[in-house]
Amino acid sequence: MCLAVPGKVLSLHERDGTQMSIVDFGGVHKDVCLQYIPDVAVGDYVIVHVGFALQRLDEQSALQTLAEFQHLGVLKEEFGDGFAIAAAQAGVANPETTPRAAEPEVES
């Protein structure tokens, strides 16, 4: 599922001529492009979809939405470890954390 998620702008920087920011999504920090709303300031809340800030959002609405997403488990689904989530849904061990069997030694 791809959602537009509210987050708080923590810092601003430029990368290759593009205005970027670090945005906090309830404890998860992601690099976000601000090209669509370049006048955003540190401390502003923005709605982000696939790495692009699309519009500003007031703090109260952002915090309410983040709390609801957290309650529904959407933040974990959206920002969590995809392999771990898929493995849990399939009822199998996470291939990222399961120890691999030792390679047999080859004698020459």
> Could you give the CA distance from residue 24 to residue 84 in angstroms, rounded to a whole number?
22
pLDDT at 76 (0 to 100): 66
Summarised one tens digit per residue, pLDDT across range 58-106 is: 999 998 988 888 787 776 666 655 566 566 677 777 666 655 555 556 6
**What are the chain's domains?**
5-90 (2.30.30.140)
pTM for the predicted model, two decimal places:
0.68
Contact 24/7 with Cβ under 8 angstroms? Answer: yes
pLDDT at 80 (0 to 100): 58
Alpha helices by DSSP H, the chain:
59-72, 74-79, 82-90
**Amino acid identity, residue 51?**
G
Match 């945005």 to its residue by tokens.
23
Summarised one tens digit per residue, pLDDT across range 35-55 is: 999 899 999 999 999 899 999
pLDDT at 52 (0 to 100): 94
> Could you give the CA distance from residue 71 to residue 26 in angstroms, rounded to a whole number?
12
The DSSP bridge pattern shows strands 5-15 and 18-25 to be antiparallel
